[in-house]
Each structure stands twice: as C-alpha cells, then as structure tokens.
Structure 1
C-alpha cells in the first residue's frame, strides 16, 4: 500500500501501514503527472486500486480519467454527475428532481440575487457552493444566520472573494441529530456495503466537521434505503456517502450533502464498527469475494480528541456526554501498533504552542521597551 500526499510533514505520512510517497500536488495537472510518474516508477505490471480522500483530487481524476485508467483501477460516476454532486446547487437540483427530502436553497452569484434570500424561512445556513481555497482562508466553513439583513451583509463581504454562495434553510437540531450513510456501490450500481453512523459533536459546533461519531444501527434500515434509492436513481457508483439531519420539529430526516468518489472524513468509524468499506471496494475492483461484515455488539466511538474536547467545552458538556454506554473510544490517529502519526501530531502541537508563546513574550518585551 502506498500513501501519496503533497505535504510530507503530515502525521499520516508516518504510518507504518503504508509506504509514504511525496507528490507535488493533490489536484490539477500536477497530480495527474505525479500519478503517471509513480505508476511508471513503482507499479510496473501492477494496476492498483486508487482511493481518493479529497474533493479536489476527485474533480481532477474525474476529468482526466481517460489518461489514468490504464494504470489505476477507478470506479467513479460520470464526469457530469461528479461535477453536479460536488456543487451544492447541482446536488440541490438533482435532489429536487428525484423528490428527495432537502431544504429549499437559493444560489447567489451577484448582488442582484440577494432579494431571493428574503423568501427563505430563517434561520438559514450560508456556505460556499463548492470548495474554494480563497474562501477557506478568509471565512468559516459555514455560517448560521438569523435574518435576511444579516445574511445580505455577510454575502456582500464574501462575494468579492467568491461569487458562488448558497443560502439554505436551517434544519433545527443539535450535532447529535446529524447522521451519515457510507456506502460502496459496484460498477453495476449495486450496494456492496453500507454503514450508518451519527455525529456526537462537530467542531465548531453546528457548522463544523465531525469531532466525534458512532454507529447508528437504530436508523440504518431507513437511511441506507433512502441513500441507496438516491444513488441508484442518480447513477452513482464507487465510494459514496450522504449526510442527513433529523429535524427536531418534525422528526423527519433531511438530506444535507453527498460525498462521491472518495472516502469520507470519518470513514474509519465504519471499519471500527465492523464494516470495512475500503476493503470491500478493493475486493470489488479485483473481483475477489469479500468477507461478510461483522458488526460488533459493543459500539466504538471515533473521535478527533482535541476537537471533541473543544466542542464539548464550548457547549458546556463533559467529553463523555453523548457517548453510548459501554462504548470503546478510539482516537482518529492514535494506535498502539502504529504510534508515529499521533506522536508527530503531538510534537507539532507542542512546537506550535512554544512558538506562539515565544512570539507573545517577544511582543511583550518590545512593547515594554518602547514605553521606556
């Protein structure tokens, strides 16, 4: 197994589970050239399964698949479908056409689109239409907004940076009402494996990524069926997932967003709870029979410890609050049999803290000197 990344300093690059390979980029023409170079250098006579983990990589590989399929095994939806599902408005329109449960949305590209946001029911969530580096450097992943006036003010600040904003009605409920269904669909569109989980906390709360999560067998049948119907109707194959939120007012599930062509951030929670989706995908691509999934009776919580602690503190909770009784807790990086990624991460945190402390001391000394 090989692990490719453009940043050799990342903690994951120290794992003993894979051979790290530094590449120039994880997107664009540079990624394609690097994949071709790696194939020529390391995979002579071998056509490995390519697993993707980032949205930008999926877009690149999707548009250049014809150049790569001779060297790598890929299972992606059509180029047009990948593009549509990676954009929030594209997903919205497809979900509406397939009569899927999704809140109303307004797409804003110019100031002339602003009057339309007054027709939505507030609060709303405001976020970019797709991933954008310039946006990410200046703004949060998403914003909850309580009024059209507040929303218009925020949008006016974002538009000069990114003219691609979506405004969607907010689904009421805590982080723990956010669910996800992770699947792998073979080339015929049949579901080879499916797992349903639930967030415990997000960071930042309400609008951030997963800080902790666990299996949700109590809703698996419902959400797996809903996810399968959507993906089959849309024509999705390969690695895919759908995020949902249960509205506390109606108790009904609403679709939030899909992920296609790559593993999800919290994908490992499925493996820890007995459903190894990357293994199933590998077996499917090589036409090997996969061992049946065995879901354990004791639930396993997956968490990013630092973010889970911050989220719990911000919400006035104890860290254990929300964990199922008797659950085993597993850190996103720490493993006794593979300790280096976690150790590297902790060392980086320590260096960063020391650097920040030194800067504060230097600024304090400089300020004191100027006063004297």
Structure 2
C-alpha cells in the first residue's frame, strides 16, 4: 500500500495558472480529472491524504484541518501566500465550504477568482425554506412545504398531504450527526412523533409533501453561468439509482437529453432571476399525476456529487468555470456516443443489493464509468480496494478474538 501511495506521474505542462480545488471526495476527484482533460493543473486542499481526490495523479495535494468549515478560509489564505501576485480560479465541491468562503470572501478576493453569487443569494438559496419561498414566488412547481421551528409549529402539518419528507432547513452538521439528510414519513402522526425527537437537536427543519416516483424519475440540470447575458453551459441528466433509496445521493446517473429542452431553460431562468453566477445545479422530480418537473433543491457555488457525468458526456463544467474565471469564452460541448453512465461504486452496490432492477434503465448501448477507477489514474481505486480489504480483515480478527 505504501508503494501505491508513492506512485507519481509527471504532470503535463499546463496552460494558465493552476486551479485551486477544495474537497477530497468523489466530487473533487471528478473535478480534478475534468480539469486534467483540459490540461489544467490542480492544487487540491483536502482534510486527508486518504481521500479519493488526494490520491489522484492529477493533483498537487495540501492537507488542512477541515474539522471546522471556516478553517478553509485560513487554509486558502496560507496557500495563496505561496504565490504572491497570482490570482487563481477557486472551485469548491462541498456545501459547508461555500458558506464559509462566501461569508469571508473579502479575505480571499485578492488572491482567488471566486465564482460566487452575492452573499445574500448564497444564504437564500442554501436555506431550503428561503429557496422554496423564492421558487414559489416565481411560479415554479415546488412541493408544498412547512417550516418547523418549535413544537407549536407541528399543527401546520395538518395542511400537508402525506407521505412527507423531513429535512434540515440549512447547514446543520450537528443535526446530521444524529439524523439523515432526508427522512421519509408515511403519515402526519409519524412525522409529528419524529419531529419531537428532531427538535431536541435542531430548531430549523422543513417538512415537504413527498413527490411520488422512483429514483429514476429524479432529474438534474448542472450549469456554469456567466455574469452577463451569454447562455450558460448546461448539462441535464437523470438518476438511475440513489443511496439510501428514495432519499439519498446519486449512486448511478446518465445523460437525459430528452429532458434538456425543458429543464435547461427553466433552470436558467430561475438562476438568472436569483442572480446566480458560476457553478450551480437544480434537482427536479417528475410528477406523473400533474405531468410536470418539480423543483426539489439547488446546488449553489460548487460542483455536484455527480458533476463528472457531464464531462464524461462532453460537457466539461469545471473547465467552463476555469475559463470563465480567466475571462475566456466557454469551451464547446462535444456530445459523446454512446452515452456514459457515471456510478459511485459503493453507493451503487448498496442500492443494487436493495433493488436489483432499475425502473427506467438507460439505453443498452450506454457505457458505465466507475467514479473511482480510471486506467490512466488508477491509484484512487487501488487504494480504496486496499482500505476495504484491511477493514474486512480487521473486522474478521475482531470477531475471532
């Protein structure tokens, strides 16, 4: 394993300054590989060398203490001191870091190009209740929602039609240490009982009516938006599997050109109304009974977990953001055939074990691409295999002893 960690590959000469990417997960790994395709060097700030992106041959890794989200600002300031006078594009991959950078942007703007909307826009769209209000005011289809801040608010649940889903309204690491990001409830009484426990941890929750349909009815539009009237770079896809099922993140997804003509304009219009620039995305769910796409929640100021599916299908959004930061035109999109399916290997395996069949599978010609494994960048996948083998061995030894 130590020899694997020490494997190094020579970086090709890059054009322009290195992009600075914050985060170490599969999201950041996809960003690094997307930028490498465009011959862009990547400086990566992450919390551990053991994270997938930190193991990639495409990055120059720097560790920082990410135990608190605000630490990223000090880390970025320290990193910039190594390159005085050089202002470089910054790409974020984690929601908590978006909030921290947005709140302290004046410390960083001299050294980094921050592709962020205004602080008010970031705060509004990262808060689920405020996003819901903005979308509802604009006439967009959204699930009916109630904000729960105390036991007194539980009476408002009677105005909703179950099943329901409970979520934290904003960024709440303390809540997520005790509860999942989304909790499905099949009745108002069950939701009320669950909320009684949740309110002991958080006083800012939302409850929404559940939009029916399996995971393959969830769509997303990923974008890079300029600060003028130019059309954004857009990619529309749909999930094939999620983990946990129904309420979890993307486990497997594919391009959805059949929905692009509808979802790209809707997403563009909403984001422009809200003053969004840079990297963003919107998740939708197809509601069969009303024959419409319902807005679920946005991604603001960062890449999405499955962002690389766009690059694999010819729409390199991290490169578009990099070029935008340098004042250059967006790269041309290059449609790929057959289409590529992106999968998170562990999440996809868990989802497949729970439900083997995909309700609406992709075309049989589609090619599956593993988010970890690449022939020209093998170390993230190989070390992941080593880590899992070591964990299984440790568990086996523990059982024997």
1:36 matched to 2:84? The reply is: no
Of 355, 358, 363, 2:397 maps to 358
Q: TM-score, normalised by structure 2?
A: 0.87
Query: Number of residue pairs matched?
Result: 360
- Quote the Cα distance in structure 1 between the aligned partners of 2:229 and 2:393: 51
1:342 matched to 2:342? The reply is: no
Alpha-carbon offset, residue 240 of structure 1:
0.6
Q: TM-score, normalised by structure 1?
A: 0.93
Match of 1:113 in 2: 153
Q: Does the C-alpha gap of structure 1 residues 53 and 102 become closer, same or farther in structure 2, counting only changes over 3 Å?
A: same
State the SS of the aligned residue for 1:308. helix
1:4 matched to 2:45? The reply is: yes
Match of 2:171 in 1: 131
Match of 1:325 in 2: 364
CA contact (8 A) 1:25 1:31 kept: yes
- Quote the Cα distance in structure 2 between the aligned partners of 1:30 and 1:111: 34
Q: Deviations over 1:73-122 (max 9, x none)?
A: 11211111101111110101111111111011001011010000111011
Unmatched segments (≥5 aa) in structure 2: 1-41
CA contact (8 A) 1:75 1:187 kept: no
Alpha-carbon offset, residue 192 of structure 1:
3.1
- Deviation larger for 215-224 or 341-350: 341-350
Alpha-carbon offset, residue 321 of structure 1:
7.5
1:146 matched to 2:146? The reply is: no
Q: Deviations over 1:112-166 (max 9, x none)?
A: 1000011101101111112322222221221111111000111111111112111
- Deviation larger for 157-166 or 109-118: 157-166
State the SS of the aligned residue for 1:113. helix
1:159 matched to 2:220? The reply is: no
Of 191, 202, 210, 2:242 maps to 202
CA contact (8 A) 1:176 1:201 kept: yes
- Deviation larger for 4-13 or 83-92: 4-13
Match of 2:293 in 1: 253
Q: Does the C-alpha gap of structure 1 residues 189 and 90 become closer, same or farther in structure 2, counting only changes over 3 Å?
A: farther
- Quote the Cα distance in structure 2 between the aligned partners of 1:63 and 1:261: 12
1:229 matched to 2:258? The reply is: no
Q: Deviations over 1:210-248 (max 9, x none)?
A: 000000000101000100110111111111100000012
Match of 1:366 in 2: none
State the SS of the aligned residue for 1:73. strand
Of 236, 242, 252, 1:212 maps to 252
1:91 matched to 2:131? The reply is: yes
CA contact (8 A) 1:192 1:280 kept: no
Match of 1:368 in 2: none
Of 16, 35, 43, 2:57 maps to 16
- Quote the Cα distance in structure 1 between the aligned partners of 2:127 and 2:108: 24
CA contact (8 A) 2:345 2:372 kept: no
Q: Does the C-alpha gap of structure 1 residues 291 and 238 become closer, same or farther in structure 2, counting only changes over 3 Å?
A: closer
- Quote the Cα distance in structure 2 between the aligned partners of 1:110 and 1:355: 44
Q: Deviations over 1:286-318 (max 9, x none)?
A: 122343111113110000122212212212427
- Quote the Cα distance in structure 2 between the aligned partners of 1:28 and 1:308: 28
- Deviation larger for 74-83 or 346-355: 346-355
Match of 1:367 in 2: none
CA contact (8 A) 1:183 1:191 kept: no
- Quote the Cα distance in structure 1 between the aligned partners of 2:67 and 2:377: 25
1:80 matched to 2:123? The reply is: no
Match of 2:232 in 1: 192
- Quote the Cα distance in structure 2 between the aligned partners of 1:328 and 1:111: 50
- Quote the Cα distance in structure 1 between the aligned partners of 2:317 and 2:357: 32
- Quote the Cα distance in structure 1 between the aligned partners of 2:164 and 2:200: 21
State the SS of the aligned residue for 1:191. coil
